[in-house]
Structure 1
Amino acid sequence: MSERCRQHRATPDSPQAAQRFTLSHMFTAVQMALVLGLTAAPTAASAAPQAGTSSASLELSETVVEGVLDPATGLPPAYAGGQVASGSRVGLLGNKDFMETPFNTISYTDEYIQNRQAQDIGSVIGATDPSVYVPTKRSNFETFFIRGFYSNADDITFNGLVGMAPNMRGSTELAERIEVLKGPSALLNGMPPSGSVGGSINLVPKRAGDEPLARLTTTYESRGLGGVHADLGQRFGDQKQFGVRFNGVYRDGDTPVDNQQHKMALSSLGLDWRGERARISLDFYKQRERIDGLNYFGINTIAPNVTHLPSPKKGDYALAPKWAYTINNTTTTMVRGEYDLTDSLTAYAAWGQRDGGYNAMINSSTLVNNVGGISSSAIRSIRSGTQQSGEVGLKGKFQTGPVDHAWTIAATRFTSDNSFKDARAAIPGTTNYDNLDFGNAPTFPGYGATTSQTRANLGSYAIADTLSFAEGRVQWTVGARRQRVQNTTDAFGPRASKTSYDESRVSPATALLVKVTDEVSLYANYIEGLSQGASAPDSAENAGAVMQPYQTKQYELGTKVDLGSFAHTVSLFQIEKPSAFTDPLTNVFGVYGEQQNRGVEWSFFGELQPRLRLMGGATYTQAEMTKVVTGGVKDKQVTGVPKVIAKLGTEYDLLDVPGLTLTGNINHTGKQYATNDHRVSLDSYTTYDVGARYAFKVETKPMTLRATVQNVTNKAYWLGSWNGGDGSGLSGGLGAPRTVLLSGTVDF
C-alpha cells in the first residue's frame, strides 16, 4: 500500500472523487484492467517487510503490504467504525488489505460480535451480509448458504487449518475475528471435507494484547437463557514476548422456543511467544453443548400430493418432540509457528487434532397432505471421531527487474476417522401441524453396535505468486493446487459393504487487481472449488464406479471503493457446479448435471458520517439447473435459493447522551421454492431488530450495557434450506420468534 493510500485510509475527510465513479465506468475499467495486467510496464518495487516487527499473532510475516498489520494484535486493523477489519487472511495468500484482495471478503471484529450479542457463527455472518443466508436459528448443526451454495460447520477453518473449528456448531467467544471469503477457494484453502464451494469461513483465535485484559460479561435471552463469559489476557517478559489469553463461557436455560433448553460450556486457552525472527502459538479449547426439545428440522420432506405449506406459526411454536435432544462435544489442540529465515523468506508449519462427536435422538418428518398432516420417524445417532490437520510451507518475496513477487508454496494434510451408531424407529400414526403430538420417546432394541465407519485423507500441494507492477498498482496472482482425495466407508450389519475412493485433481486460479486510484480498486478472478465425486449406486449399470472430484468454476468481476471511512464492493459472479445422476435411458451413473448461479452483489460498511455506522447490502442471484436428467426441471430457480436478499445494519451515537448508541437491523429475504417443480414455495419475509447500548464508567472501570429486540414485530415465516434432489424438499422450519437479548460487560 502506498503512503498516500495509508494516509487516505486513516483520514475520513479525504477527497470523495470516487463517488463519481459510475457502474458503467467500472465495467469498462475492468476490461481495461485485464489488458493492463498483461501489458503494463511496471516501475519501482515496494520494500519488503522488515524482520523483527512481530506482534501477538502468528501471521505477522504473512505476505502483506508493509503497514497493514496492527502491531498490537498482528492482525489487519479495524476499519472506520470498528465493526469490520481493513483486511483478512486470504488462505494461501496470507493477510491482505481488502482493497488489495482480488476477491470479495469481509472480516468481523470482536467488537462487532460483542455488540451484536452473537452466540453462534450464523448470527454474525448472516446479520448484515446479503451474500449469506442462514436457514436455521438453533439446530444441532449450523448450515449456511453463501452465493446460493450450501456450506456447514465442518468446513470452517480455525486459524487457517481445516477441520479444527468446533464440531457442528461454533461459539463466538473464542474468536477475535470471523472472516468470510465468498466464492470457491480450492487454491486458497484446499478442498474442504464436506466440499463447500460457495464460500469459506475462518475463525481467528484470540491473543493477548499488549495491555492486560480482565473482562466479565453476563448475558440473558428471552425466557431464561442466562450466561456468563470471562475473558482474561496478559503478556509477560521484558519485551512482552509471552502471551496468555483465556476465555470461559457457561450458558444454561430455556430458549425462546417452547419446550426447548440450551446448555453450553466453553473453555479456550491461547498461548503465544514472539521473538525477533520466530513466532509460535498454542491453542486449546473444549466445548460441550446440549439442546433439549431440539427443533432440528420442522419438515424434512414434502409428499408429492402437497401443493402448499400450512400458514407459518410464530417462531416460539415447537416443531420437535419434547424428547428430542443432541449433545455435541469438541476438544481441540493446535500449534502454529513460523521462522524468518531471512528478511524476505519465512518458513511456517501448523498442526492440530480435534476429538469429539455427538449423541442425538431427533425426529424426521414428512408433510403428507394439505391440511397439515405429518408422519414422522425417530433417529438415534452417535458419532465419535478424530481429525488431524496440518500444513507446512515457505513464503517470500523477490524481484525480477521491475516486477515484485510475493510467493508461497505449501503442503497440507487432513485425516478424519469417524464411527457411527445409527438407528431409525417409526413413530406410530400421523399427527397434525396445528396440534403436534409425537408420543413418548421411542425405544431402539439392540441399539449400540457400530453401523458404519468412514476414513478420509485429503492431501495437497500448492504454489501461488502475486506479481506486482507499476509500484503495486497492478497485481496479478497465479497459482494451482494438486489435491488428492481418499475416502473409505465400511457399512456393517445386514447390508454390509465397503466403498473406496481415491482421486486427484489440479485446481488452477488467477486473479487480477488494478488500483485505479487510491480510492478505487478493480478486480477479476477465475478460481475453482473442489468436491468429492459420488459413487454409482448399486442400481446403476456401472455400479461402484467412482466419479472424479467435481470441479466448480467461478468467474468474477468486481470493484471496491474506499472513501476513507466508508467502503463499497460491487461484484458480478458466475459459479458452475457439476452434479451426478443416473440417466434413466441408459441406466448409467455419470456427471451429467450442472447448477449455475449468476448474481450481482453490493455490500458496504463503515461510518457514513460521524456517529453513524452502516453495514449491509443487497444481492440478486439467479440459480438454475442448466443441465438436468431427462424430464427434469431445467432453467428454473433452484430450491432453497432466494433471488433477492437485502440487509441493513445501523448504529447511531447520540450526541446529547454521550455513550448511548441506538442500533437497528432490517433483513429482507425473497421468495424461495421448496420443491423442484415449484408447486410449493416459501413467501418472502422482512424482519426488524432494534436495540441500544450504553457505555460508561463506574469509578475507573469501563462498563457497557446492551439491549436488543430481534424480530420486533414477531413476524411468522417459514425458512429453510429446501434442496431435495427428487423434488421432495429438505430442511424446513419456522423463523426465530421475537427475542430479547440483554448483556452487561465490565472491564476490571
Structure 2
Amino acid sequence: MSEHGCPHSANPDSLQATLRAVSFTLNRTFSAVQMALLLGLTGGSMAVAAAPAPEPSTQSPTGTGEGSLVLSETTVEGTMGAPADLPPAYAGGQVATGSRVGLLGTKDFMETPFSAISYTDDFVRNHQAKDIGSVIGATDPSVNVPSKRAIIETFFIRGFNTSANDITYNGLIGMAPNLRGSTELAERIEVLKGPSALLNGMPPDGSVAGSINMVPKRASDEPLTRLTTSFESNGLYGAHADVGRRFGEQNQFGIRYNGVYRDGDTAVDDQKQNMQLNALGLDWRTERVRLSLDAYKQRERLDGSNYFGIASINPNVNKVPSPKKGDYALAPDWAYTINDTETFLLRGEADLNDSLTAFAAYGQRDGGRNALMTRDTLVNNAGDINVLAYRSDGQGTQKSGEAGLKGNFNTGPVGHQWSLAATQYKSEMSYKDLQKANYVTTNYDNLDFGPTPPLDTFGAVTSRTEAKLGSVAFLDTLSFLDDRIQWTVGLRRQTVESSSLTPARVKTSHYNESRVSPATALLVKVTDDVSVYANYIEGLSKGDTAPMTAANSGQILSPYQTKQYEVGAKLDLGSFATTLAVFQIEKPSAFTDPITNTFGLNGEQRNRGVEWSFFGEAQPDLRLMGGVSYTQAVLSKALVKANEGNQVTGVPKIIAKLGVEYDLERVPGLTLTAGTNHVGSRYVTDDHRMELPSYTVFDVGGRYTTKVMSKPVTLRANVENIANRAYWIGSYSGGDGSGLSGGLGTPRTLQLSASVDF
C-alpha cells in the first residue's frame, strides 16, 4: 500500500511546510519512544511495572471516582487532556457530567433534551479498550457491537446500524480514522443516540442510529509523561506514550503527544494485528481566543480477517451452524486488511463580546484501505460455504469544514441561546477492485480456503466517486423561569451531491438534492435533581437510484428523512444518576413495487423502545454502570408482505448490561471489576426461518495502584468472556441478508497493562 506525505490542501505554502514538519517530527519522535518501550517490554520496563503505584490525582485518598484508588486519577485525567469547555467527570469518573451536543454546544447531561453520554479517558484506560466499540458497547444497553476486528467497526444504536465511517473527530465529519479508530486519540468519546440531522448534519454514509464523536486530547496545566505497556492473548504486545506540557506565562500554549505501537497474534487463530499511531495536539488560549491544531497518522494491518463472518445465506438454508469458540478463524490466513489515515484539523473560536462568539474549523484526511478478503455464502444445511475472493483498494481525500456564530440575548423574561452554522464536506475516492467468484467451496466445520488467490493482475483503477455535503443550520434555545423550562427549535438545510465516474473521470451518474430537517425539543427541570424532556428530530440519508428494471429507471430519489419521537426523564442524586427514555424511530427504505414496477420509498423500518441506564457511585467504594433496553424493530412496510411486522434481522429485543467496580478496603490501591452482557435472541433472516438464541458473557478484572520510587504506577488485568462461551454475535448491518455476518463471539481474552507516570 502506498504511503502518503503529510496531508495538505489549498492553504498557504507556509502551512503546508509546517504540517510536513509536524509529520516528520511525529515519525522521528515516535521511532525513538517506540524503541525504548519495546525494549522495556522484554525487560526493564516490565520489571519497573511489576511494582504497582497510583496514577496522579487531585481527589481525596479515599476516592469517589473511577480509579479512586489510583489516588483519584480521574480528576487529573478529566482536566489534563480536556479542552476548557469540556465538563468535568461525574462521580465515579467513568462518564462526564455533560458533552458537546452538536450545534447545541456543550451541555450538562441534566439540561440535554436528548439521550447522550460522554466516556472519559479513565473509563477507556481502565477497560483497556483499544477500539470505539469496546468503549461504547461495554455498559450501554442501547448499543450492540455486532462484530469484533472485522474489516470495519460497526455498531447498532437503538436497533439501527452505523459504522466508523460516520464517526466525527473534534466535531468534524469525515476526520476520524478509516475503518477503526484508536482510543488513544481521544480524551472523551461522546455518544448521542438517535438521528441528529439538525445537530450534526448528515454523516457521509447517512446513518441515523446516532452520532459518535472523538474529542482530541489537550495538555493540561499539570505536566504529564505516561508510558504504558500492554499484552493481549495470544501474543499481542503494545506500548503507548502520552506526553503533555503547557508553556507561557499563563500556560496559554499546550502540546499533547500520543504514540502507540501494537503488534502480534490476537486471540483468534491465525489472526495478527499491527497498529501504529502518532498523534499531536497543539492549542493556544487567551481570555477571548482559543485555537487548536490536531494532526495524526494511523496505520493498521490485520491479517487473517474476512469481510464479515458468513456474509450471506442461500434461501434454502434453514439450519444455523452450531457456534464455535471465538478463537475459531472464519478467514484464511492469506487474507488481510490495511487501513491508513493521515489527518490534520484546525479549529478556532473568538469571543467577539460577552454574548457573541465566532467559530470555524477545517480538516483534511488522506488515506484509505487495501484488502485481500473473502466474502462467504452459506449454501446448504450441511454447512458448505461458497467463497468469493476479492482484492480491493480504496484511496482518497476528504475535506471538512464549518463556520458560524453562537451567542445569547434576552427578550424580556425569555433567554435565548442561539447558533448559526454552515458546513461543507467533500470526498474524492478512487477504487481498484478485482474479484474471483466461486473461488473455492469449503465447509464450516473444516474450513480450507485454499492457496492465495491469483489476483496478480490487480492494479488498475476500476471506478471513482465524488461526494459533497453542504448545509446551513440555525437553532435557538428559549429559556423560561430561570432556565427551568428550555425549548429548542431549529432547522438545517442539507444539500447532498454525489457522482460515480469511470477510471477516466467520465461521470456515469450524478445526484444533487436538498432537504430541510427541522427539530424541536422541550426540557423541564422539575427540581434540581429531576429533568424531563421530549424531542422530535430527523435523520437524513442519501436517496437511491431506480434500477434499470424499474419503470422509472434512472430516477434519483430525494434524501430519506428518518423521524424520531422521544420522551425521557433524568434523575441526578449527586453521586449516582439514572435515565429513562422511550422512543420511536421511523426510517423509510426503497424498493421496486412488484405491482406498479415503480422504484420508490415503499419500505419502512419502525423501531420502538425503552431504555433505562444508570451510572455513578452507589457508595464511595462501589461504582455501577449499566442498564436494560427493549427494542421492537419491525418491518412496518416490506417488499415481502409476509415479513411485515417481523423483528428486523440481527436486532435483539432485550439487552442488559452491568459493569461493577469495587475498591477493596483491606488492600489499599486494589480495585476489583466485573461485567456482564446479556443479548436476547436475534433472527437470522427477515422471514424468521432461523433464530439465534440469547447469550450472556461475563468479564472479570482488577487494577492495583501504588508508587515505585515516588512514581505512580497502575497495573491492570481483565479477562473477557471468562467462561469462553461460544455464540454467534448476529448481523453486522441488520436488514435481510445474513444474521451470521457478525461472525463468532469474542473468545476468552486476557488483557494486561502497566502504566508509569514520570
TM-score scaled to structure 2, two decimals? 0.88
Indicate the larger mover: 460-469 or 287-296: 287-296
Query: 2:176 corresponds to which residue?
Result: 165
After superposition, where does 1:262-341 map in structure 2 within 5 Å? 262-341=273-352
**Residue of 235, 242, 257 corresponding to 1:231:** 242
630 and 714 in structure 1: CA distance in 2 versus 1, 3 angstrom threshold = closer
Q: Which residue of 2 aligns with 1:549?
A: 559
- SS of the aligned residue for 1:154 comes to helix
Q: Match for 1:400: what amino acid?
A: T
Q: Secondary structure at the match of 2:482?
A: helix
SS at match of 2:729: strand
Instruction: Return the alpha-carbon distance in structure 2 between the equivalents of residues 330 and 548 of structure 1.
Output: 32
- Render the CA deviation track for 1:77-134: whole Å, top value 9, x for unaligned: 0000000000000000100000000000000000000000000000000000111110
Distance 1:511 1:440 in 2: 58
Amino acid at match of 1:348: F
Aligned counterpart in structure 2 of residue 252 of structure 1, from 241, 251, 263 = 263
Asked if 2 retains the 8 angstrom alpha-carbon contact of 1:70 and 1:76, the reply is: no
- Alignment pair present for 1:206 and 2:234: no
1:178 has 2:189 as partner? yes
1:75 aligns with 2:86: yes
Is 1:195 equivalent to 2:206 in the alignment?
A: yes
Alpha-carbon deviation of 1:699? Answer: 2.5
Q: 2:101 aligns with which of 90, 114, 119?
A: 90
Q: 1:730: Cα distance to partner?
A: 6.5
Q: In structure 1, how many angstroms separate the alpha carbons of the residues matched to 2:463 and 2:493? A: 30
Task: Please list every run of 5 or more consecutive structure 1 residues that lacks an aligned counterpart in the other structure.
Answer: 1-10, 13-55, 58-67
Q: By how many angstroms is 1:492 displaced?
A: 5.2
Q: What is the distance in 2 between the residues matched to 1:191 and 1:656?
A: 52
Aligned letter for 2:691?
Answer: S
Counterpart contact for 1:676–1:728, Cα < 8 Å: no
Alignment of 1:267-416 (within 5 A): 267-416=278-427
Matched, 1:710 2:720: yes
Aligned to 1:435: 446
Match of 1:105 among 108, 116, 123: 116
Mark the CA change 1:305 to 1:88 in structure 2 (over 3 Å): closer, same or farther: same
Secondary structure, in 3 states, of the residue corresponding to 1:239?
Answer: coil
Partner of 2:501: 490
The structure-2 alpha-carbon separation of the partners of 1:150 and 1:299, relative to structure 1 and needing over 3 Å to count, comes to same
Cα distance, 1:684–1:491 mapped onto 2, change above 3 Å: farther
Quickly say closer, same or farther: Cα 1:162–1:606, change in 2 above 3 A: same
TM-fit CA distance, 1:644: 0.4
Report the equivalent of 1:480. 491
Amino acid at match of 1:719: I
1:536-560 Cα offsets, whole Å, 9 max, x none, are 0111111110100000000000000
Deviation at 1:211, TM superposition (A): 0.4
Partner of 1:540: 550
User: Per-residue CA shift, 1:674-726, capped at 9, x if unaligned?
Assistant: 11111122111000000010011112111100001100000000013265755
1:443-463 residue CA offsets vs partner (Å, 9 max, x unmatched) = 125321111111000000000
Change (3 A) 1:728 1:613: closer
1:453/1:632 Cα in 2 relative to 1: closer, same or farther (>3 Å)? farther
- Distance (Å, rounded) in 1 between the aligned partners of 2:100 and 2:387: 44
Please point out which of 451, 469, 474 is paired with 2:480. 469
Distance 1:544 1:72 in 2: 48
Maintained 8 Å contact 2:82/2:218: no
Q: Distance in 2 between matches of 1:743 and 1:568?
A: 31
Which range moved further: 722-731 or 387-396?
A: 722-731
Instruction: Give the Cα–Cα distance (whole angstroms) in 2 for the partners of residues 443 and 732 of structure 1.
Output: 27
Distance 2:102 2:195 in 1: 12
For the Cα contact (< 8 Å) 1:69–1:77, is it kept in 2?
Answer: no
Report the Cα offset of residue 571 of structure 1.
0.1
> 1:598 corresponds to which residue?
608
The match for 1:39 is: none
In the alignment, which residue of structure 1 is the partner of 2:67?
none
1:217–1:452 distance in 2 versus 1, CA, 3 Å: same
C-alpha contact 1:427 1:438 (8 A) present in aligned 2: no
Paired AA for residue 302 in structure 2: I
Change (3 A) 1:255 1:403: same
Shift of 1:423: 1.2
1:479-508 CA-to-partner distances (Å, cap 9, x unmatched) read 000000000012459x99711110000000
The unaligned stretches of length 5 or more in structure 2 are 1-62, 65-75
Is the 8 Å Cα contact of residues 675 and 724 (structure 1) preserved in structure 2?
no
Whole-Å separation in 2 of the counterparts to 1:178 and 1:447: 38
In the alignment, what sits opposite 2:22? none
Moved more, 302-311 or 204-213: 302-311
C-alpha distance after superposition, 1:248-284 (max 9, x if no partner): 0000000000001000000000000001211100000
Whether the 8 Å contact between 1:724 and 1:730 is mirrored in structure 2 is no
Partner of 1:60: none
Aligned pair partner of 1:735 in 739, 745, 751: 745
Measured on the aligned residues, the alpha-carbon RMSD in Å equals: 1.9
Q: Is the 8 A contact 1:272 1:279 kept in 2?
A: yes
Q: In 2, Cα distance between the equivalents of 1:266 and 1:608?
A: 37
Q: Pick closer, same or farther for the CA change 1:738–1:730 going to 2, 3 Å.
A: closer
CA deviation string 1:178-202 (max 9, x = no partner): 0000010000000001011011000
Shift in Å, 1:731: 2.0
Q: Secondary structure at the match of 1:719?
A: coil
2:731 pairs with one of 721, 727, 731: 721
Contact 2:224–2:243 (8 Å) recurs in 1 = yes
Task: State the distance in 1 between where 2:197 and 2:308 align.
Answer: 31
CA distance in 1, matches of 2:664, 2:738: 51
SS at match of 1:734: coil
Match of 1:528 among 512, 531, 538: 538
Q: C-alpha separation between the residues in 1 aligned to 2:437 and 2:567?
A: 51
Distance 1:336 1:362 in 2: 38
Q: Following the alignment from structure 1 to structure 2, what is the Cα–Cα distance between the partners of residues 191 and 424? A: 32
Please tell me the residue identity of whatever aligns with 1:512.
Answer: L
User: Equivalent residue for 1:680?
Assistant: 690
Residue type of the alignment partner of 2:751: L
Match of 1:35 in 2: none
Q: Report if aligned partners of 2:161, 2:734 keep a CA contact under 8 Å in 1.
A: no
The answer to whether the 8 A contact 2:154-2:732 is kept is no
Do the aligned partners of residues 587 and 191 (structure 1) sit closer, same or farther apart at CA in structure 2, a change above 3 Å counting? same
Identity over aligned residues, as a percent? Answer: 67
Query: Relative to 1, partners in 2 of residues 1:74 and 1:497: Cα closer, same or farther, differing over 3 Å?
Result: closer
Q: SS state of the match for residue 641, structure 2?
A: coil
Q: Deviations over 1:122-167 (max 9, x none)?
A: 0000000111110111112000010000100010010000100011
Deviations 1:190-223 (A, max 9, x none): 0001011011000000000000000000010001
Q: Report the residue type matching 1:240 in the other structure.
A: N
Aligned partner of residue 170 in structure 1, secondary structure: coil
Number of matched pairs: 684
User: 2: distance between equivalents of 1:721 and 1:676?
Assistant: 11
The runs of 4+ residues in structure 1 deviating greater than 4 Å are 68-73, 722-730
- Residue 123 of structure 1 aligns to a residue in which SS? helix
Match of 1:49 in 2: none
How far apart are the structure 2 equivalents of 1:618 and 1:183? 17
* Mapped partners of 1:353, 1:206: distance in 2: 18
Paired amino acid for 2:341: T
Asked whether the equivalents of residues 648 and 735 of structure 2 are also in contact (C-alpha less than 8 Å), the reply is: no
Matches within 5 A, 1:653-672: 653-672=663-682
Structure 2 matches for 1:621-636, cutoff 5 A?
621-629=631-639, 631-636=641-646
Q: Residues 577 and 668 from structure 1, CA distance in 2 versus in 1: closer, same or farther, beyond 3 angstroms? A: same
Contact map agreement 1:303 1:728 (CA 8 A) in 2:
no
